Amino acid sequence: MGFPGVRMRRLRRTPWLRETLRETRVSPRRLFLPVFLDPTIPTPAPISSLPGHSRYPPSALPEIARRAEKAELGGLLLFGRPREKTREGEGAWDPEGAVPQALRMLVGKHSLTLVADVCLCAYTLSGHCGIGEGARIDNDATLRALASTAVAYAKAGADWVAPSAMADGQVGALRRALDGEGLEDTAILAYALKSASAFYEPFREAEDSAPQTGDRKHYQMDYSNRREGLREMELDAAEGADVLMVKPGLTQLDLLARAREEFHHPLAVYNVSGEYAMVKAAVQKGWITEDRIVPEILTAFRRAGADLIVTYHALEAAESGWLG
Ligand code: PBG
184 near 240, Cβ under 8 Å? no
In a domain, 282, yes or no: yes
pLDDT computed for residue 29 by the predictor: 98
pLDDT computed for residue 205 by the predictor: 87
pLDDT computed for residue 242 by the predictor: 98
In a domain, 297, yes or no: yes
Using the predicted structure, report yes or no on whether residue 164 has a pLDDT greater than 90.
Answer: yes
206 near 47, Cβ under 8 Å? yes
**Shortest-distance Cα residue to atom 2 of ligand 1:** 164
Using the predicted structure, report yes or no on whether residue 324 has a pLDDT greater than 80.
Answer: no
What is the rounded distance in angstroms from the CA atom of residue 57 to the CA atom of residue 35? 11
Residues with CB under 6 A from ligand 1: 117, 119, 121, 129, 164, 200, 203-204, 216, 272-273
In a domain, 293, yes or no: yes
In a domain, 8, yes or no: no
Which residues, in sequence order, are bridge partners of residue 5? Answer: none
Cα of 129 from ligand 1 centre, angstroms: 10
- pTM for this prediction: 0.97
304 near 255, Cβ under 8 Å? no
What is the rounded distance in angstroms from the CA atom of residue 219 to the CA atom of residue 121? 13
Nearest partner of 322 among 291, 296, 300, judged by Cα: 291
In a domain, 7, yes or no: no
Cα of 247 from ligand 1 centre, angstroms: 9
For a mutational test of ligand 1's pocket, the pick from 47, 76, 77, 164, i.e. the residue with the most ligand atoms closer than 8 A to its C-beta, is: 164
In a domain, 13, yes or no: no
Domains: count for the chain: 1
| Enzyme catalytic residues | 194, 247
Question: Ligand 1 atom closest to Cα of 210?
Answer: 10
In a domain, 20, yes or no: no
Domain that holds residue 144: 25-320
pLDDT one-digit tens code per residue, 2-15: 999 999 999 999 99
Cα of 176 from ligand 1 centre, angstroms: 24
Question: Ligand 1 atom closest to Cα of 166?
Answer: 16
Using the predicted structure, report yes or no on whether residue 135 has a pLDDT greater than 80.
Answer: no
Using the predicted structure, report yes or no on whether residue 114 has a pLDDT greater than 80.
Answer: yes
In a domain, 14, yes or no: no
- Average pLDDT taken over every residue of the chain: 97
Which residues, in sequence order, are bridge partners of residue 45? Answer: 55
**Shortest-distance Cα residue to atom 14 of ligand 1:** 200
pLDDT computed for residue 68 by the predictor: 98
Give me the CATH number covering residue 263. 3.20.20.70
Please provide the distance, in angstroms rounded to a whole number, between the alpha carbons at the two ends of the chain: 34
pLDDT one-digit tens code per residue, 31-64: 999 999 999 999 999 999 999 999 999 999 999 9
